[in-house]
Amino acid sequence: MTYPRYTALAQTLPASVPFVGPEAQERARGARFDARLGANENGFGPAPAVLEAIKAHAHEAWMYGEPESYELRSAIADHHGAARENIVVGEGIDGLLGYVVRLVVGAGDAVVTSDGAYPTFNYHVAGFGGVLHKVPYKGDFEDPDALLAKAREVDAKLVYLSNPDNPMGTYISAKAIEAMIEGLPAGCLLILDEAYVEFAPQDAIPDIAIDHPAVIRMRTFSKGYGLAGMRVGYAMGAPELILAFEKIRNHFGMNRIAQIAALAALKDQAGLDAIKASVAEAKRRIAQIAAQNGLMHLPSATNFVAIDCGGDDAFARRVLGELIARGIFVRMPFVAPQSRCIRVSCGPEVELQRFEQALPEALKAARSV
Amino acid sequence: MTYPRYTALAQTLPASVPFVGPEAQERARGARFDARLGANENGFGPAPAVLEAIKAHAHEAWMYGEPESYELRSAIADHHGAARENIVVGEGIDGLLGYVVRLVVGAGDAVVTSDGAYPTFNYHVAGFGGVLHKVPYKGDFEDPDALLAKAREVDAKLVYLSNPDNPMGTYISAKAIEAMIEGLPAGCLLILDEAYVEFAPQDAIPDIAIDHPAVIRMRTFSKGYGLAGMRVGYAMGAPELILAFEKIRNHFGMNRIAQIAALAALKDQAGLDAIKASVAEAKRRIAQIAAQNGLMHLPSATNFVAIDCGGDDAFARRVLGELIARGIFVRMPFVAPQSRCIRVSCGPEVELQRFEQALPEALKAARSV
């Protein structure tokens, strides 16, 4: 007899990884990357006050995290003019996506997303036996109309949309998102992943009643606040939905130092502004580097820039490989035609200079095949 | 229509919490605790070298944790003379228990544990629709024979045993555990929770082939290493079982600073020894305080001591309440007759002195009802 007796679902799942980490690539190539610009991490963050908070409270690591994240949730609620009952804090958006999928999706349940959107969401849907229906991007934008049409067609329980978008860095207007919410079919919950919202223009941020029953918004301290390694995200929604997380979440899953760091980060909005200025400058630099090489870039409402390599998927993949071979960690979109691009995360100037140096060589090598 | 359309299982689950945290109790009483001795945290830890590592690497918090925990898993494997393929690192034993339950337990599947054992495990089993069967303790010890008999009776897919035991602090001999494993019914996986193993005598630590297909052992950096707030645990088992975690785990769920702290802790075995010496002394002090009040204590193979309050469940509950009212955070076992005890975690002498001062008053007040 095999041990253990896995569930029928577990038996069918592959031992898959949504992303291969840069460290695994470093082990494979036998050398460290010189520039870590591939995971949309924020090489500028966290703010100095946050670093100080981590160091000042390191000795508290012996205590479990506060299971209700009471203080942090209170501060987040204040920040948004919401109530604590509208906020659940979790182990990054990844963790929160897993929880909401678990609450809603069972065997055979329909879920809708965009083809080429966030793989970790897809991983969770598969992991709970859901059936994923994908609609194509419209150009380089996610397509609310197509998402809605598909949601109606398949009677979706969930529809996922990231705005601003990853991996393209584009965004849909607040008005379009608001119209999408109006058009959601009955019983369909929209997961609005706003991981990159701190970098987005005001026009990208919809006005949604915090208690709206058909929407859950996800935010994170990973991007704007530069704390990806700390794993703190939060979801905002109707109190009934937020309370449902209590049924299944890992109540003692939050790292105590991460809670402290996130609270310090939220309280340091000036620190966030400084980070955003650095990111804005880095975006200009990445665009400049693209232009120096005769390449177009997409306007970005995030902390990364999609550079159109000017060829097809295979060409971009060769450029990516040549960059990685030169110690530059970047990634690329998953599906065509978006996969004509490579995706470069913002980082400090010293890393961008390494990218600037490597890109012409990589393009030349990719073209010489 | 209600939003969202929860799964049938999610609709039946209560919004329950395995434990109320001490901070929630502090908010309820409007004052901080003077002694935090209730959650089996380790007030002595982490070791100085670990604190230094956290501070030295705080600036790396912008990077995601390494998704494979490669370096940490390698070090853990070396520590145990195992291979990396035998080790999975997760967000504390709580997180790993959730994963293994998810892999194995579906609606109606039978799981066996001891009545009064770890509530978070029970929470996970309920959360995936399993049916929990409980057997009583035998005196103040978990009862392998009863667990086995029940596992056979109900055709259990999982059986849970913590050794040393929480909440009593007792342990079952290595030989008895080994015999239990021999006696497991076909297709039943033993989860051996060894969270407190660093405090246990050698005689408590069974010799189990690392590739044994019917056992998964769980360890943590929360207790001996004093890093409860960092959320790092690991499981050891057959490579096939360990690989199955890749199907469902949150690949980017680990906090990067926590990975660094755990690695530093593992490498500082002298630091662990110093912590263990402090814990051993604290256990003597707790026993002494019990004796000063005419109370018996249970011998402990953990970092806490169960004190027999000398009455019934209701009396111990009154003692507990009186201690909490006096600013002393302790907990107690959940079921009779173990709930005649209160459970006091080891901590620094200053906190034990506060407990020493409060206990006679608490006993007097509890007796005067």
Distance (Å, whole) CA A161 – CA A118: 9
Three-state SS for B21?
A: coil
Whether residues A257 and B64 touch (CB distance < 8 A) is answered with no
Q: Rounded distance, CA A355 to CA A322, Å?
A: 11
For position A322, what pLDDT does the model report?
Answer: 98
Judgement on whether residues B352 and B242 belong to the same structural domain of the protein: no
b/e B43-59 (16+ beta carbons within 10 angstroms → b) = bbbbbeebbebbbebbe
Tell me the C-alpha distance between B231 and A254, whole Å: 7
Q: Are residues B238 and B306 in the same domain?
A: no
Is any Cβ of chain B less than 8 angstroms from the Cβ of A209? Answer: no
Q: Which two tokens stand for residue A155?
A: 């009677």
For B31, the domain range is 18-45+270-367
Residue A118 is encoded by which pair of tokens?
């966030």
Chain A hits for B89, Cβ within 8 Å: none
Whether residue A3 is contained in a domain is answered as: no
**What is the DSSP secondary structure assignment for residue B288, as one 8-state letter?**
H
Are A58 and B50 contacting, i.e. CB atoms less than 8 angstroms apart?
no
Q: Which comes out higher in pLDDT, residue A46 or B19?
A: A46
Can you give the pLDDT at residue A310?
97
Shared domain for B241 and B125, answered yes or no, is yes
User: Which of A18, A62, A92 lies closest to B228 in CB terms?
Assistant: A62
The verdict on residue B149 lying in a domain is yes
pLDDT in tens, A5-45: 999 999 999 988 778 899 999 999 999 999 999 999 999 98
In a domain, B3, yes or no: no
Report yes or no: B262 at the A interface, CB cutoff 8 Å: no
pLDDT value for A95: 98
Distance, CA of B346 to CA of B335 (rounded, Å): 22
Q: Quote the pLDDT of residue B109.
A: 98
For range A218-238, the mean pLDDT: 98
Q: Is A198 in the same domain as A211?
A: yes
Q: Where are the beta strands (DSSP E) in B171-316?
A: 189-193, 215-220, 233-236, 296-297, 304-308
pLDDT attached to residue A156 = 98
Residue A262 shares a structural domain with residue A291: no
What dihedral do alpha carbons A318, A320, A326, A327 form, nearest 10°?
Answer: -150
Q: Cβ of A103 and B1 within 8 Å?
A: no
Q: Shortest Cα distance from B364 to chain A (angstroms)?
A: 31
Which among B10, B18, B251 is the nearest to A251, CB-wise? B18
Whether residues A179 and A40 fall in one domain: no
Shared domain check, B61 and B26: no
Contact between B36 and A63 using a beta-carbon 8 Å cutoff: yes
Give which of B2, B7, B101, B223 to mutate to test A binding, by max A Cβ within 10 Å: B7
Question: Minimal CA–CA distance to B15: which of A7, A185, A103?
Answer: A103
Last residue of a domain, one of A252, A267, A282: A267
Q: What is the pLDDT of residues A47-104, one digit of tens each?
A: 999 999 999 999 999 999 999 999 999 999 999 999 999 999 999 999 999 999 999 9
Domain of A179, CATH number, reads 3.40.640.10
CB contact under 8 A, A241 and B4: yes
Q: Which residues of A touch B8 (CB under 8 A)?
A: 106
Residue type, A288: Q
Integer Cα distance of A50 and A303 in angstroms? 20
Residues A101 and A229 in one domain: yes
Reported residue count of chain A is: 369
> What CATH number should be reported for the domain holding residue B343?
3.90.1150.10
Q: Are residues B70 and B216 in the same domain?
A: yes
> pTM of this prediction?
0.97
Strand B215-220 relative to strand B233-236: parallel, antiparallel, unpaired? antiparallel
> A361 versus A3: which is more confidently predicted?
A361
Is B4 a member of any domain?
no
ipTM over 0.90: yes
Q: Is residue A77 part of a domain?
A: yes
- Of the candidates A9, A103, A253, the beta carbon closest to that of B94 is on A253
Q: Do B114 and B151 reside in the same domain of the chain? A: yes
Q: Which of B267, B300, B331 is the last residue of a domain?
A: B267
In this predicted model, what pLDDT tens digit does every residue of A307-361 receive, in sequence order? 999 999 999 999 999 999 999 999 999 999 999 999 999 999 999 999 999 999 9
**Cα B279 from Cα B267, distance rounded (Å):** 20
B13 within some domain = no
Interchain contact, B59 vs A65, CB within 8 Å:
no
Would the pLDDT of A162 be above 70?
Answer: yes
Q: CA–CA separation, A224 vs B354, rounded Å?
A: 44
- Asked if residue B283 belongs to a domain, the reply is yes
Inspect the interface and report whether the beta carbons of A229 and B60 lie closer than 8 Å.
yes
The pLDDT assigned to B369 comes to 83
B55 contact residues in A (CB cutoff 8 A): 54-55, 58
Burial class (CB within 10 angstroms; exposed 0-12, middle 13-18, buried 19+) of B292: exposed
Q: Which of A218, A240, A267 is the last residue of a domain?
A: A267
pLDDT band at A2 (very low <50, low <70, confident <90, very high): low
Let me know: does B301 contact B198? Beta carbons within 8 Å: no
User: Domain total for chain A?
Assistant: 2
The residue type found at B346 is C
Residue A21 tokens, joined: 């980490």
User: DSSP state, A265?
Assistant: H
Task: Name beta bridge partners: A336.
Answer: none
Tell me, yes or no, whether B11 lies in a domain. Answer: no
Residues B101 and B39 both lie in one domain: no
CA distance B66 to chain A (A): 7
Residue A87 has a pLDDT of: 98
Taking chain B (369 residues) in runs of 10, the rounded mean pLDDT of each run is 87 87 95 97 96 98 98 98 98 98 98 97 98 97 98 98 97 98 97 98 97 97 98 98 97 97 98 98 98 98 98 98 98 96 98 98 96
Same domain? B41 vs B88: no
Is A253 at the interface with chain B, CB within 8 A?
A: yes
User: How many residues are given for chain B?
Assistant: 369
pLDDT of A145 over the 80 cut: yes
C-alpha span between A168 and A164 (Å, rounded): 9
Find the residue in B nearest to A59 (Cα): B51
Q: How far is CA B221 from CA B46, B91, B159, B309, in A?
A: 9, 10, 23, 31
